[in-house]
Amino acid sequence: MKKRQTLKIAVVLLLLAGTLASCEEKEKYPTEISFTEYSLTGTSCQWTNLNYDDRDGNVKVINSNKELENFIACSDGEFPKIDFSTYTLLLVSGTTYQNIETMNLSLEQHSANKYQLNVEIRLGEGDMMDTWTLALLVKKIGRNSRVSANVEIIQN
């Protein structure tokens, strides 16, 4: 009789544990992701091998110094180091057919492995073609992750 009662209590506890586990709050998407801009200002380095022809921006997800070396050329010294065990660098570039007045950025996570970088470019006066490059440090994201760019160009 005591074994039967113990077994009933164990079953009830297992069912309760399963119910509580299934009630865990799931990730809600989209989620805003914070980032820090990565700059080559003040170094002898410049971006290289970037595709400025892609008007919508082509995001490169960089997870190692070896990958980053494909996109930076330095005439003297080294580029600012990144701790790739903790961070991922998102690199995107493009072209506008007028001067850029301002840029607004946001990064959203839409699922476990899907991200969207929103770039709003407000054009200024003038007819001069302008290129742009964004380098953003984010908390480490997986190699299987996909990051797309949504570039919106607003003319004044």
Does the pLDDT value for residue 36 go beyond 80?
yes
pLDDT at 47: 94
SS3 content of the chain, % helix, strand, coil (to 5): 15, 40, 40
Q: Which residue has the higher pLDDT, 91 or 9?
A: 91
Is 95 strand, coil or helix?
strand
Highest mean pLDDT among 28-32, 136-140, 151-155: 136-140
- The mean of the pLDDT values for the chain is 85
Q: How many helices (H) and strands (E) does the chain have?
A: 2, 10
Q: What burial letters (b/e) apply to 98-128, b meaning 16+ CB within 10 Å?
A: bebeeeeeebebeeeeebbbebebebeeeee
Q: Which of 10-14, 83-87, 96-100 has the lowest mean pLDDT?
A: 10-14
Answer for the pair 130, 155: CB distance below 8 angstroms, yes or no: no
CB atoms near residue 33 (< 10 Å): 17
And the tokens for 57? Answer: 């921006």
pLDDT tier at 12 (50, 70, 90 boundaries)?
low
State the Cα–Cα distance between residues 29 and 110, nearest whole angstrom: 5
The string of pLDDT tens digits covering residues 87-125 is 999 999 988 888 889 999 999 999 999 999 999 999 988
**What is the pLDDT, as a whole number, of residue 23?**
47
Which residues partner with 120 through β-bridges? 104, 152
Q: What is the pLDDT of residue 16?
A: 57
pLDDT, residue 98, reads 87
Model confidence at 6: pLDDT above 70: no
Task: Report the C-alpha gap between 88 and 73 in whole angstroms.
Answer: 19
